[in-house]
Amino acid sequence: MDNPNNEDYSDFFKVVLVGDAGVGKTHLMTRYVKGCLPKNAVPTIGIEFAGKTVTLQNGKKVKAQIWDTAGQERYRGITSTHFRKAGGALVVYDVTKEKTFESVVKWMEDLRYQAEPDVVIMLVGNKIDLVENNGSARKVQKEDAKNLAQQHKVLFEESSAVTGQNVGQCFDRLLQEMYKIKSLTPGQDNPNQGLSLNNQNPSQNPDNCKC
């Protein structure tokens, strides 16, 4: 390697976050990576990026590279170029907005087309905090989303980036699946090799949050 700083790409678990504008992709990423919400929520333009070292159930540590994308359709061309080499994706919709759920099939098709062939996709219904005490706010039924996920053979979770409910579970489960696939794929480097573990896990150090 020319540069001592060079990171070996095979070490990474690249995850992209996609879904319509305003479903809470940036919130999910920040909640997961930093353990808190973004100080100020602004619409994502282009892409944003974060990294986190994660310990999987089997004790293996992996480095997740998370790419958050702009949701507006006009940016689909630019964001989809970042799907390349993505081994996992969260397709996010807002459980209180039916339209955002209607778009998920299109997002999944885009991913299948542009990401790694064995990309692990998880459908995530976000903002469940809004429906907890007000059932009528829910516009996408959990069963419907579950069925759609089964039909498309993707994982499924519901979450709330605002309360933090189930956010860790979404990412951890996705990474777990990605790990499984990567270690089963012949000819691939063992993803556990050569990892440097310099990132702290903020969820284990809640006081460490710098936001």
Partner 1 sequence: MAFLKKFFGQKTDQQSSLYKTNLNEIYNKSPFQKKQISSTIQDQKKLEQFELVLEQQIIDLEALKKLTWRGIPNEYRAKVWKLIVKYIPPNHMSQTTILLKKRQDYQQYIKNYYEHMNEQERDENERKIIKIIQNDVLRTQPDYKLFRDPRIQEMFKRLLFIWNMRHPMSGYVQGINDVASPLVVVFLNEYVPIDFNSFDVPSNFDKLPEDILIDIEADIYWCLCKIIENIQDYFTANQPGVQEAYVKIRELIKILDYPLYQYFEDQQIDLNHFAFRWVLCLLIREFPLSLTIRLLDTYLAEGDEMANLHVYTVTNLILKCAPEIKSKNMSEAVIFLQNLPTKEWTEVQLEMLLQEAFVFQDHFEKTKGHLKLNQANTNRSSIL
Site residues, partner 1 (CB under 8 A): 2-3, 5-7, 9, 21-22, 40-43, 45-51, 65, 70, 72, 74-75, 77-78, 81-82, 99
CA distance 128 to 106: 23
Residue 95 CB, shortest distance to partner 1, in Å, is: 16
At its nearest, how many Å lie between partner 1 and the CB of residue 64?
A: 10
Residue nearer to partner 1 on the CB measure, 30 or 166: 30
**Strands 88-94, 47-55: parallel, antiparallel or unpaired by DSSP?**
unpaired
Residue 86: partners with Cβ closer than 8 Å, 6 or more residues away? 14, 15, 16, 67, 111, 115, 116, 119
Q: Under a CB-based contact definition with an 8 Å cutoff, are residues 35 and 206 in contact?
A: yes
For residue 40, the minimal CB distance to partner 1 (Å) is 4
Rank residues 111 and 154 by Cβ distance to partner 1 and give the closer one: 111
Residue (53 or 183) nearer to partner 1, CB: 53
The contacts of residue 155 (CB under 8 Å, 6+ apart) are 120, 121, 122, 123, 149, 173, 174, 177
Complex with partner 1: residue 21 or 181, whichever CB lies closer: 21
Residue 46 beta carbon to partner 1: minimum distance, rounded to whole angstroms: 3
